[in-house]
Amino acid sequence: MSNAVRIHHFAKSGHAHRALVFAKLAGIAHDAVPVDLAAGAHKSPEFLAMNPNGQVPVLEDGEVVVSDSNAILFYLARTYAPDWMPTDPVGEANVQRWLTLAAGEIAFGTCAARLITVFGAPLDPEFAAATAEKAMQKLEHGLTGSDWLVGARPTIADVASYSYTAHAPEGNVSLEPYPNIRAWLARFEALPGFEPMPATAVGLVAE
């Protein structure tokens, strides 16, 4: 039997990409299990038994089941990749600050803007654009004078913030005004093991 963790994902989900790209960057053996969102597979009884919220990503590690992308990053780092998560209280608190941004302004701004343009989601485009701009400004400021969001090496703070920020232009959120973010994205993409989320403009089609 395989010792690999299983990551249930959808190829065009930035939340799922967070979990997958982390497994790749950290060299964690994993099987990527596609979930056909277009067919409603994420609302099946089997899937809801793993995640009652009916959302990807979900991680299975033997008997352990973890849903929510940031929770998955935390679990994987603590279990298999300790270098990616500081253990001192200040470092850990700083990582948490960025996970909050990823679950806040990035999700409701940068991600939402892309949900509107790519998937036709019935969300408020003005709110999404304004919230995305707040996310961008916080990242740009946080990367002033430093290569990574927390400390001198990449952590799960960078992983959680990467996917939707890299794909912000798909939601008509320009990266042009943010040189620190653009340099950080390039640095992240140069890490060994990095694999991108597929670029998309065609909607909710499983790959």
Ligand X SMILES: N[C@@H](CCC(=O)N[C@@H](CS)C(=O)NCC(=O)O)C(=O)O
**Number of residues near ligand X (by CB under 6 A):** 12
Choices 10-18, 78-86, 166-174, 196-204; region in contact with ligand X by CB under 6 A = 10-18
Residues 6+ apart with CB under 8 A from 53: 67
Residue 74 or 178 having the CB closest to ligand X: 74
Nearest to 101 by CA among 22, 153, 8, 165: 165
Binder to ligand X among 55, 131, 155, 165 (CB under 6 A)?
A: 55
Under rule CB under 6 A, which residues in 60-99 are in contact with ligand X?
68-70
- With beta carbons less than 8 A apart as the criterion, state whether 85 and 74 touch: yes
CB 115 within 8 Å of CB 123: yes
Q: Is residue 15 involved in binding ligand X (CB under 6 A)? A: yes
In single-letter form, the type of residue at position 13 comes to: S
Give the phi and the psi of residue 66 in degrees, each rounded to 5: -130, 130
Q: At what angle do helices 156-166 and 179-189 cross, to 10 degrees?
A: 110
DSSP secondary structure letters along 63-84? TEEEESHHHHHHHHHHHH-GGG
Residue 11 interacts with ligand X (CB under 6 A): yes or no: no
13 lines the binding site for ligand X (CB under 6 A): yes
Whole-number minimum distance, CB 12 to ligand X, in Å? 8
Smaller CB separation from ligand X, 15 or 30: 15
110 part of the interface to ligand X, by CB under 6 A: no
Residue 41: DSSP 8-state: G
Minimum distance from CB of 82 to ligand X (Å)? 22
- Minimum CB separation of residue 19 from ligand X in Å reads 8
Residue number with the shortest CB distance to ligand X? 55
By CB under 6 A, tell whether 105 contacts ligand X.
no
- Contact between 42 and ligand X by CB under 6 A: the answer reads yes
Strand partners, 68: none
Write out the residues near ligand X by the rule CB under 6 A. 10, 13, 15, 37, 42, 54-57, 68-70
